[in-house]
Amino acid sequence: MKPLREDFIFLSVERYLRKQSWEILGGEPPDGTSNRFRRIYIRSPGIRPRLHSQDSLKVDLISAKQGILLLSEVKPRYSESDKSKLDIVAGERRNDLFDAIWERCKIPKSSFKSVVKSLAFTAELRVDVPPDFVFFLVYPNQTVVARTGGLVNPQIFG
């Protein structure tokens, strides 16, 4: 299948999550200014960058539902580098992530009982879903199908 545009995948996943009652906390659409949500920059502590975007990580979409924090990265095709980035954000930079959410959304870390990582891309699955990930497979008609890894409760996606 020809890969879908990143902005199409982004919008499809955003709509899917809203339908599933996820609250979009922040994010940044590809090549575009967000109409509806804030940018959340995840920064290292103790560094005083002159520019707000320096030394920061951004996740395409950050959503929350029932104490679960969902991090989503969007690409036309499966991206190993996006997977690594989410591993870092949810792993060694987890405190920075919660600091950023507190700064921009005023939601304390204690509100979240778990962090789930997800990748969204054109529906064409050639890799196994890692146990701690969700894959959102997006079709040309905007249908989104969630495939969950073994450690993720599939019921959180309807």
Partner 1 sequence: MEQYVRPKDSYTIFYDSLHEGEWIRSLHPHFSKASLIPIIDPGNNIPSIDQLIAYDRPDVIISYEGRPFLVIERTEEVPSSHNCGQRFARIVRASELGVPVIYFFPFVAQKHGAESRERQRFGKANQRYVNPRLFSAFERIEEIHDTLIIPISWPVDSEYELLRTPEKDVEIKCVLHEIVKWLECRKDLTKLGVQPNIVESKAKASREKDTRYRSTKKNRGPPPSVRIERTSAIVEEYRINEPVTTKLLKRDRSVVYRMGMRYLRSDPYAGTLALYDYLYARTGPRTTDRCMNVVTHAPNIDSNDWNRIRETGSQRKDVSLFRLFSDCIILGDVAVI
Contact footprint for partner 1 (CB under 8 A): 5, 7-8, 10-11, 29-39, 41, 43, 47-52, 103-104
Q: Indicate the residue among 13 and 156 with the shorter CB distance to partner 1.
A: 13
In angstroms, what is the minimal distance from the CB of 50 to partner 1?
6
In angstroms and rounded to an integer, the radius of gyration of the C-alpha atoms of the chain is 15
- Compute the distance between CA of residue 46 and CA of residue 10 in angstroms, rounded to an integer: 32
Query: Judged by CB, which is closer to partner 1: 50, or 126?
Result: 50
User: What stretches of the chain show up as alpha helix (H) in DSSP?
Assistant: 6-19, 80-90, 94-105
The partner residues of 6 in beta bridges, in order of sequence, read none
**Could you give the 3-state DSSP secondary structure of residue 135?**
strand
Residue type present at position 131: P
Which of residues 55 and 128 has its CB atom nearest to partner 1 in the complex? 55
CB of 9 to partner 1, least distance (A): 9
Shortest separation between residue 29's beta carbon and partner 1, angstroms = 4
Rounded distance between C-alpha atoms, residue 8 and residue 141, angstroms? 10
Q: Which is nearer to partner 1, 4 or 152 (CB)?
A: 4
Q: How far is the CB of 121 from partner 1 (least distance, A)?
A: 16
C-beta atoms surrounding 43 within 10 Å: 19
